[in-house]
């Protein structure tokens, strides 16, 4: 044990560090300790004095030990102590005598003596887990083995232990207990009564716990009172289980100290016990209400009734000139009763521990004025919503019928999604009052229709097609309308699906694959719905055949005005190209292109001779032409190039 000469301090040191030779064996700072592994479980630092205890010593622990202490706000303190470890008998069987003592506060003193077997070199006294240090009232003698406490106080009644140590071991005694008695003029004090749960009002059958406490030594004895009468109960706690109304009253507890012979009584705790509200009802003075007669409604219930309130149709009742409340709101009178008094009346009954209510329908009436709200015309695929209402007390129940067939019951609203033409007809709403047993109905006519077809247009991918190679795509569109059906016509014939003819998008798109000369049209699209129909404009296709077409072209720079002629007669074509379709033998002959430049006022022409045979002879899938015809074509191209250059 390395004991410093410092007195215990209330202010913790900023840091404490112990060193063996040049090796730091413990550092304490801000309440945390840093200890090398080889010293764990062998070392204890006492932070109030900086003292150090080293256990399980060996010869290797001999050497110089130094301490470095940094008090808060003061200069550092340094101490050095050589130490030689020598074989010592371990400490054992540490005892404190006396093991207990009953003392009077402020009057008595006590001396506790610590003894042990072995070779103790130091003694340390502990109050619970804290080190006991010398003071005006605490004195240590006989090397610390005797501790004397002068004029004991209540704060000294702790478990005191003695720890005896030597360089090789330490041991701690069993606790010695000091019990204090207050002086004859003290206690019991602060007698207090706690109620759990902390309520004032309790329902019959509740469980209540009362706890009495006081400051007293020796412990106080307890007595319980109800409205001043002593109860046969002397425990600190009083439990009231399944409490009944005859147990209500003011409870108090009284404490008694057998040493001071003093009594003290707590403040009373008031406990109110009442029955919960149950079985509420409203009774009418008559079963059949007649206008201009007196009617009384009586609100009854079992239990402890504190308050009654009335409501009409869910809102607080406002008394009219013909209404009166009496008998603590138990009786509601109508004198005389009028039609405007019809409604749903409820009586709400309560007390501090419960509440309940009862609702009664008085002066039933109706149904009257049954009405159906909703559209009379509706497009197909739309959502139909019809609402039914009626003046009825109580509220009516509703049944819906379509053309006499029941569709929906117990609903004031009829909803149908995606209506069809079959949903047209007469809708009947039947309202029924369960009290008056009267039934009244309303009828609503609905027509399901479709929006007329309008603005049917036809679009195509292209109009000039090559026979056997091109495909035609026709798309039919409508700007307004619904529930469409599509029909395609080629001239006066209906177009139907085949291997080459495809109808898609519900029939709105027509696709003809590998067109032939018979697919020229005219094509048109017809659109129908149940209320109207309409057709698009016609579309024609130009079908070109590779075996039956010739192409002639003429060019000029700058651009010239062009005119074509056949056999010397003008042809109504002014384009650079002249296309001949489905040619025949009578179309053989000279074809001339006449060009005129309106800037230079120059004109020129070129002629090509075309020979059309009655039968075509093909070689390697190419046309066979006579040498003269081929010569004319080449001359045409040569002349065309020369003449156009001259026209520039």
> What mean pLDDT is predicted for residues 357-381?
84
Tell me which of 407 and 617 has the higher pLDDT. Answer: 407
Q: For residue 114, what pLDDT is reported?
A: 93
Of 153-162, 418-427, 523-532, 629-638, which gets the smallest average pLDDT?
Answer: 629-638
Q: For residue 328, what pLDDT is reported?
A: 93
Q: For residue 394, what pLDDT is reported?
A: 76
Q: Which of 49-58, 146-155, 478-487, 517-526 has the highest mean pLDDT?
A: 517-526
pTM of the predicted structure, to 2 decimals: 0.36
SS3 at position 645: helix
Spatial distance between the Cα atoms of 376 and 395, rounded to a whole number of angstroms: 26
> What mean pLDDT is predicted for residues 253-282?
92
Given pLDDT bands bounded at 50, 70 and 90, which one contains residue 150?
very high
SS3 at position 544: strand
Q: What are 348's strand-pairing partners? A: 309, 357
Q: For residue 556, what pLDDT is reported?
A: 54
Contacts for 602 with CB less than 8 Å, ≥ 6 apart: 596, 647
SS3 at position 525: strand
Percent of the chain past pLDDT 90, that is, above it, reads: 44
Please state, rounded to an integer, the average pLDDT across all residues of the chain.
84
pLDDT of 617-634, one tens digit each? 433 433 333 333 332 332
Domains of the chain: 15-83 (2.60.40.10), 92-181 (2.60.40.10), 189-274 (2.60.40.10), 278-362 (2.60.40.10), 365-449 (2.60.40.10), 454-544 (2.60.40.10), 546-647 (2.60.40.10)
In the 8-state DSSP scheme, what is residue 320? -
Given pLDDT bands bounded at 50, 70 and 90, which one contains residue 531?
confident
Percent of the chain past pLDDT 70, that is, above it, reads: 89
Given pLDDT bands bounded at 50, 70 and 90, which one contains residue 78?
confident
Q: List the end-to-end C-alpha distance of the chain, in Å, as a whole number.
A: 128
pLDDT of 271-316, one tens digit each? 999 999 999 999 988 876 766 789 999 999 999 888 999 999 899 9
Of 101-110, 233-242, 279-288, which gets the smallest average pLDDT?
Answer: 101-110
Spatial distance between the Cα atoms of 625 and 616, rounded to a whole number of angstroms: 10
- Give, in order, the Cα–Cα distances in Å from 120 to each of 144, 146, 167, 327: 11, 14, 9, 91
* Long-range contact set of residues 376-379: C-beta below 8 Å, sequence gap at least 24: 376/444, 376/445, 376/446, 376/447, 377/446, 377/447, 377/448, 377/449, 378/419, 378/446, 378/447, 378/448, 378/449, 379/448, 379/449, 379/450, 379/451, 379/482
> What mean pLDDT is predicted for residues 638-645?
34
Q: For residue 555, what pLDDT is reported?
A: 52
Q: HSE of 231 in the Cβ direction (CA atoms, 13 Å)?
A: 21
Give the rounded distance of the alpha carbon of 12 from its chain centre. 52
Q: Are 458 and 539 in contact (CB under 8 A)?
A: yes
Query: Is the backbone peptide bond immediately before 218 cis, with ω within 30 degrees of 0?
Result: yes
The C-alpha angle with vertex 249 and arms to 244 and 252, in degrees rounded to 5, equals 120
Spatial distance between the Cα atoms of 131 and 260, rounded to a whole number of angstroms: 34
Q: Which residue has the tokens 């139907």?
A: 496
Of 356-365, 454-463, 495-504, which gets the smallest average pLDDT?
Answer: 356-365
Nearest CA to 149 among 91, 77, 101, 79? 101
Q: Are 591 and 612 in contact (CB under 8 A)?
A: no
Q: For residue 361, what pLDDT is reported?
A: 67
pLDDT of 574-611, one tens digit each? 888 888 777 788 888 888 988 888 777 788 888 888 87
Q: For residue 444, what pLDDT is reported?
A: 95
**What is the longest distance spanned by two Cα atoms in the chain?**
158
Name the token pair of 175. 């606790």
pLDDT at 512 over 90: yes
Q: For residue 546, what pLDDT is reported?
A: 56
Spatial distance between the Cα atoms of 163 and 3, rounded to a whole number of angstroms: 14
> What mean pLDDT is predicted for residues 546-555?
50
Spatial distance between the Cα atoms of 475 and 504, rounded to a whole number of angstroms: 10
Q: For residue 290, what pLDDT is reported?
A: 64
CB atoms inside a 10 Å sphere around CB 116: 22
pLDDT of 421-460, one tens digit each? 889 999 999 999 887 788 999 999 999 888 888 889 999 9
* Exposure string over 13-48, b if 16+ CB within 10 A, otherwise e: beebbbbbeeeebbbbeeeeeebeeebeeebbbbeb
Name the token pair of 217. 């030594």
Q: For residue 86, what pLDDT is reported?
A: 56
Of 279-293, 390-404, 454-468, which gets the smallest average pLDDT?
Answer: 279-293
What is the rounded (10 degree) CA torsion for 145, 146, 149, 154?
60
Spatial distance between the Cα atoms of 503 and 525, rounded to a whole number of angstroms: 12
Q: Which residue has the tokens 């919503």?
A: 385
pLDDT at 560 over 50: yes
Nearest CA to 450 among 414, 478, 489? 478
* Exposure string over 194-220, b if 16+ CB within 10 A, otherwise e: ebeeeeebbbbebebebebbbbbbeeb
3-state DSSP percent of the chain in helix, strand and coil, to 5:
10, 50, 40
Spatial distance between the Cα atoms of 112 and 99, rounded to a whole number of angstroms: 8
DSSP string, 111-172: EEEEEEES---EEEEEETTEEP---SSEEEEGGGTEEEESS--GGG-SEEEEEEEETTEEEE
Given pLDDT bands bounded at 50, 70 and 90, which one contains residue 505?
very high
Tell me which of 35 and 181 has the higher pLDDT. Answer: 35
pLDDT of 414-426, one tens digit each? 999 998 888 999 9
pLDDT of 10-41, one tens digit each? 788 889 999 998 899 999 987 788 999 988 88
Tell me which of 410 and 559 has the higher pLDDT. Answer: 410
């Amino acid at each position: 044990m390395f004991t410093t000469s410092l007195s215990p301090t209330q202010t913790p040191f900023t840091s404490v560090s112990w060193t063996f030779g040049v090796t730091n064996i413990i550092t304490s700072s801000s309440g945390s300790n840093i200890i090398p592994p080889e010293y764990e479980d062998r070392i204890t630092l006492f932070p109030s004095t900086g003292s150090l205890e080293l256990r399980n010593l060996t010869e290797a622990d001999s050497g110089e030990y130094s301490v470095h202490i940094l008090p808060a706000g003061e200069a550092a303190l340094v101490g050095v102590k050589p130490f030689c470890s020598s074989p010592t008998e371990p400490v054992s069987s540490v005892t404190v005598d006396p093991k207990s003592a009953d003392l009077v506060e402020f009057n008595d003193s006590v001396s506790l003596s610590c003894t042990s077997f072995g070779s103790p070199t130091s003694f340390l006294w502990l109050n619970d887990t804290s080190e006991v240090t010398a003071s005006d009232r605490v004195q240590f003698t006989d090397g610390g083995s005797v501790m004397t406490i002068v004029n004991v106080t209540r704060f000294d009644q702790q478990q005191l232990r003695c720890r005896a140590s030597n360089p090789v071991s330490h041991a701690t005694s069993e606790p010695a207990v000091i019990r204090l008695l207050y002086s004859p003029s003290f206690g019991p004090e602060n007698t207090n009564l706690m109620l759990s749960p902390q309520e004032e009002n309790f329902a019959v059958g509740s469980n209540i716990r009362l706890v009495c406490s006081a400051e007293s030594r020796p412990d106080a004895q307890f007595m319980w009172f109800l409205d001043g009468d002593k109860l046969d109960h002397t425990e600190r706690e009083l439990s009231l289980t399944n409490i009944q109304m005859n147990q209500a009253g003011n409870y108090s507890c009284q404490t008694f100290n057998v040493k001071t012979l003093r009594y003290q009584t707590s403040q009373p705790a008031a406990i109110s016990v009442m029955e919960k509200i149950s079985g509420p009802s409203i009774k009418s003075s008559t079963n059949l209400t007649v206008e201009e007669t007196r009617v009384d409604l009586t609100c009854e219930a079992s239990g402890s009734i504190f308050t009654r309130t009335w409501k009409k149709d869910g809102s607080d009742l406002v008394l009219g000139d013909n209404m009166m409340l009496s008998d603590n709101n138990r009786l509601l009178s109508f004198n005389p009763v009028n039609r405007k008094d019809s409604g749903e009346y409820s009586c709400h009954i309560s007390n501090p521990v419960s509440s309940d209510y009862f609702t009664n329908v008085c002066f039933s009436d109706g149904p009257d004025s049954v009405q159906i709200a909703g559209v009379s015309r509706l497009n197909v695929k739309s959502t139909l919503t019809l609402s039914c209402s009626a003046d009825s007390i109580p509220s009516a129940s509703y049944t819906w019928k379509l053309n006499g067939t029941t569709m929906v019951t117990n609903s004031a609203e009829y909803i149908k999604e995606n209506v069809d033409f079959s949903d047209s007809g007469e809708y009947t709403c039947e309202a029924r009052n369960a009290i008056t047993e009267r039934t009244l109905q309303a009828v609503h006519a609905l027509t399901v229709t479709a929006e007329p077809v309008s603005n049917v247009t036809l679009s195509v991918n292209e109009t000039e097609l090559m026979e056997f190679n091109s495909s035609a795509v026709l798309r039919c569109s409508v700007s307004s309308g619904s529930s469409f059906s599509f029909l395609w016509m080629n001239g006066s014939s209906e177009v139907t699906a085949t291997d080459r003819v495809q109808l898609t998008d519900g029939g709105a798109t027509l696709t003809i694959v590998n067109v032939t000369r018979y697919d020229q049209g005219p094509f048109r699209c017809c659109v129908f719905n149940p209320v109207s129909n309409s057709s698009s404009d016609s579309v024609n296709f130009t079908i070109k055949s590779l075996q039956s077409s010739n192409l002639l072209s003429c060019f000029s720079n700058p651009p010239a005005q062009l005119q074509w002629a056949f056999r010397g007669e003008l042809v109504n074509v002014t384009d650079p190209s002249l296309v001949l379709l489905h040619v025949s033998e009578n179309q053989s002959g000279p074809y001339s292109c006449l060009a005129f430049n309106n800037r230079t006022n120059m004109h020129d022409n070129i002629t090509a001779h075309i020979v059309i045979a009655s039968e075509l002879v093909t070689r390697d899938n190419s046309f066979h032409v006579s040498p003269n015809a081929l010569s004319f074509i080449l001359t045409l191209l040569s002349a065309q190039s020369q003449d156009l250059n001259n026209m520039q």
